Each structure stands twice: as structure tokens, then as C-alpha cells.
């Protein structure tokens, strides 16, 4: 039994690895990680950063869209929440993180 284990280890390259062999074995894994970083991780981080900046730069009167699909105009702001006017005499309070983005070039129906 011991000789069969030695035979398997020697066939798999058990201890006869050339110098730099470990690097050659990990090279595909490193390349895949680099590709994932530039194609998935980095763009997502940039998107999160621009969304965070947009949330910090909100001001009264901005027209926004919430993650729930509600369009409204900002009436007041606090550090954690925003009061939106969604219709005449109708205001709702939402979390700042619930703001998906600013409305681009659209007019509200109430105007």
C-alpha cells in the first residue's frame, strides 16, 4: 500500500517541482483575478462612489427617483432622511439611501 501511494505522488510531481513551478501553477488563477477586478469589481466600486457623491450633494428642490419607483421633489433634508413632495399636499419621508438618482430633464405633471 505504501508503494502505491509513493507511485501516485511521484506521478503527480510530488517533490520534483522545478524552480518557479508554484508561480506557473498559480498564474492562471492570478490572471483570472486580475480580469475579474478590472471587469467587475472596479466598475462597481466607481458606480458606488458616484452614487454616494450624488446622495451627499442632494439639495432642496432637486427632482429625484426612489428605488421604489416614486418620483418626487425634495422638500427637506436631514443626515439620514429626505422629505419628498410627490403631489399637491402629499409629502413622504424616505431614507436617503432609498434615492436611486436624479431625474434627468423631465418635468413633473404638477407643474
- Tens of pLDDT, residue by residue over 34-57, are 999 999 999 999 999 999 999 999
In-domain check, residue 109: no
pTM as predicted = 0.65
- Domains in the chain, number: 2
DSSP, res 41: I
CATH code of residue 83: 2.30.30
pLDDT per residue as tens digits for the range 2-37: 555 555 555 555 555 566 777 788 899 999 999 999
Distances (CA, A) of 8 to 18, 68, 83: 18, 60, 70
Give domain status of residue 111, yes or no. no
Cell digits for 101? Answer: 438618482
**Residue 12 backbone zone (phi > 0: left; psi -120 to 50: alpha; other: beta):** alpha
End-to-end CA, the chain: 86
Kindly state whether residues 45 and 69 are assigned to the same domain: no
Q: Are residues 50 and 71 in the same domain?
A: no
Amino acid at each position: 500500500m505504501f508503494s502505491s501511494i509513493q507511485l501516485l505522488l511521484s506521478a503527480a510531481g510530488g517533490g520534483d517541482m522545478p524552480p518557479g513551478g508554484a508561480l506557473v501553477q498559480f498564474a492562471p488563477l492570478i490572471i483570472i483575478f486580475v480580469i475579474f477586478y478590472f471587469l467587475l469589481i472596479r466598475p462597481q466600486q466607481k458606480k458606488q462612489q458616484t452614487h454616494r457623491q450624488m446622495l451627499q450633494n442632494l439639495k432642496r428642490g432637486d427632482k429625484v427617483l426612489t428605488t421604489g419607483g416614486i418620483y418626487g421633489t425634495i422638500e427637506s433634508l436631514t443626515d439620514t432622511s429626505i422629505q419628498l413632495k410627490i403631489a399637491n399636499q402629499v409629502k413622504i419621508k424616505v431614507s436617503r439611501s432609498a434615492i436611486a438618482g436624479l431625474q434627468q430633464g423631465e418635468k413633473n405633471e404638477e407643474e
